[in-house]
């Protein structure tokens, strides 16, 4: 079946550091790929998405490129802020049943 693997957290960085959170997937068909962010005590919200190979999703300084050859969708940001502290979820959806597959989430902690 479909699966999403994210790097284990927590990821701890100083403000203005470069961020990478790795995400790889296995899927049948041609999935759409998503990154969601969850701030403490809240629901998830979409951060960015890419629906076909080589697409780059971007939002609020975050970027991720859909790499079909390496089945990856790594999240990056050039300079993190304390306000980016949250849990980040990678997800895919292949259609059919319209049930997305989520990774386990990666906690990011940014120190001043």
Partner 1 sequence: DGGITQSPKYLFRKEGQNVTLSCEQNLNHDAMYWYRQDPGQGLRLIYYSQIVNDFQKGDIAEGYSVSREKKESFPLTVTSAQKNPTAFYLCASSIGDRTYEQYFGPGTRLTVT
Closer residue to partner 1 in complex, CB, 17/63: 63
Binding to partner 1 by residue 46, rule CB under 8 A? yes
Q: At CA 57, angle to CA 45 and CA 105, rounded to 5?
A: 45
4 CB neighbour count, 10 Å cutoff: 22
Q: Which of 31, 62, 73, 84 binds partner 1 (CB under 8 A)?
A: 31
Q: Least distance in Å: CB of 8 to partner 1?
A: 10
Binding to partner 1 by residue 5, rule CB under 8 A? no
Q: Which of 34, 66, 73, 88 binds partner 1 (CB under 8 A)?
A: 34
Which has the closest alpha carbon to 11: 85, 108, 80? 108
Binding to partner 1 by residue 57, rule CB under 8 A? no
Phi, psi of 30 (to 5 degrees): -120, 95
């Amino acid at each position: 079946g479909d699966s999403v693997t994210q790097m284990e957290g927590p990821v701890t960085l100083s403000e203005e550091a470069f961020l990478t959170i790795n995400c790889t997937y296995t899927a049948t068909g041609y999935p759409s790929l998503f990154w969601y962010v969850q701030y403490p005590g809240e629901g998830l919200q979409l951060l960015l998405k890419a629906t076909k190979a080589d697409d780059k999703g971007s939002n609020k300084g975050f970027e991720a490129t859909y790499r079909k050859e390496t089945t990856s969708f790594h999240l990056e940001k050039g300079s993190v802020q304390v306000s980016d502290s949250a849990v980040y979820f990678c997800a895919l959806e292949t259609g059919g049943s319209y049930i997305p597959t989520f990774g386990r989430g990666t906690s990011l902690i940014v120190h001043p």
